[in-house]
Amino acid sequence: LFGLGVRSMGIVYSESNTLGSGLSELGDGGLTDQGYDAVKRMNRTGIVIDVSHAGDRTAMDVVEASDKPLCISHCGSRTLTDNARMLPDEVFQAMAEKGGVVGMEVAGFAPRTEKNPEGTIECLIEHLEYLVDLLGVDHVGAGPDTLWGDHAGLYRSGPMGTVRPRLGTGHFSRDRPTDLPEVFDSGEMVRDLDYIKGLESPSEFGNIAKGLVRDGYSDDEIAKVMGLNGLRVIKACWPK
C-alpha cells in the first residue's frame, strides 16, 4: 500500500477485520497479532495510523503498540457525548503521550452534547475546548467529517440511514446488551442525520477559527488546532 501512495490509513472501520475490532461490534477483542504486525510495519514504512472507528480496546492497543505518533482523525470525547462513536478520555491521553493528535468530529449526528443538543458549531467548540483542557493544545485539531454537496443525504441513502433499525448495529435482529454504550444516542438519531449548523460543508471550516477567536485563543493556538498539529504528526511519521 505504501508503494501505491498510501500515507495514512485507519486500522479498522466500524466493523471488525483481521487487524482488530470496530466500534459497532458487540465485543472488542483488541488488536490481533496480525494487527500488531501491521502497526509495526506502518511505523517502519511511514504510514500515519488512524484509530477513529476502532473499538475502545483496539484503539488503546494500537496506541500502546505504535512507536510513532498517531492520529484519531475524526472523533470526540465520550465524557461529553455518551455514544460508541466517541472514545474514552484514557485513549486520548495515551495518544497524547505518544505525541499524537485528535481531530474533532462534526458529522451531524455524532458530537451533540447535553449543553448543545441541537447540533450547532457550539457542540464542536465545546468538545475542542474540553480536549484542549484535557490534553493540551498541541494534541487537538479539527477533523470535520463532511463533504461538499448533500452530506446528510449520503448518510441517509447508505447503511447508516433508515434501512437499519438502529445505527451501528451490524445485524437486523440483534440487540445490543444494555451495559454497552449506544453507537448513537437513540433511534431518534436515525431520523436526525443532519448537518452541524455552521459547518455544513468544508467551505465553512473557517467558522471553527472564528469560534476559537471569540473564546480567547491566541493566533498560534488556533493555527495548531486548524492544521499545524496534524502536520507535525505527518512529519514525524512520513519518510524524510
Count up the domains in the chain and report the number: 1
Mean pLDDT check: name the lowest of 41-55, 68-82, 113-127, 220-234. 113-127
Give the mean pLDDT of 216-226.
Answer: 97
* Count of other CB atoms within 10 angstroms of residue 15: 13
CB-based contact 201:148 (threshold 8 Å): yes
Q: Higher pLDDT residue, 166 or 124?
A: 124
* The CA-based dihedral angle spanning residues 9, 76, 151, 167, taken in that order and rounded to the nearest 10 degrees: 90
- Single-letter residue type at 197: K
Sheet holding 48-50, edge to edge: 8-10, 48-50, 71-75, 101-104, 140-142
Q: Label residue 162 by pLDDT band (50, 70, 90).
A: very low
Q: Work out the pLDDT band at 204, boundaries 50, 70, 90.
A: confident
Q: Quick one: what percent of the chain has pLDDT higher than 70?
A: 79
Whether the CB-CB separation of 190 and 164 falls below 8 Å is answered with: yes
What pLDDT, on the 0 to 100 scale, is given for residue 226? 94
- 8 Å CB contact between 140 and 225: yes
Q: What pLDDT shows up at residue 110?
A: 64
Residue 180's pLDDT is 42
Q: Identify the domain containing residue 175 by its residue range.
A: 2-237
* Averaged pLDDT for residues 68-86: 91
Residue 225 has pLDDT above 80, yes or no: yes
CATH value at residue 132: 3.20.20.140
Predicted pLDDT of residue 27: 86
Q: Which residue has the higher pLDDT, 153 or 174?
A: 153
106: closest CA among 222, 195, 229, 213?
Answer: 195
Question: What mean pLDDT, rounded, does the chain reach?
Answer: 83
136: phi > 0 → left, psi -120 to 50 → alpha, else beta; which? left
The band of 169, judged by pLDDT with boundaries at 50, 70 and 90, is very low
Pick the most confident of 107-111, 126-130, 177-181: 126-130
pLDDT surpassing 90 at residue 166: no
3-state helix, strand, coil in the chain (%, to 5): 40, 10, 50
Rounded to 5 degrees, φ, ψ at 72 are: -120, 90
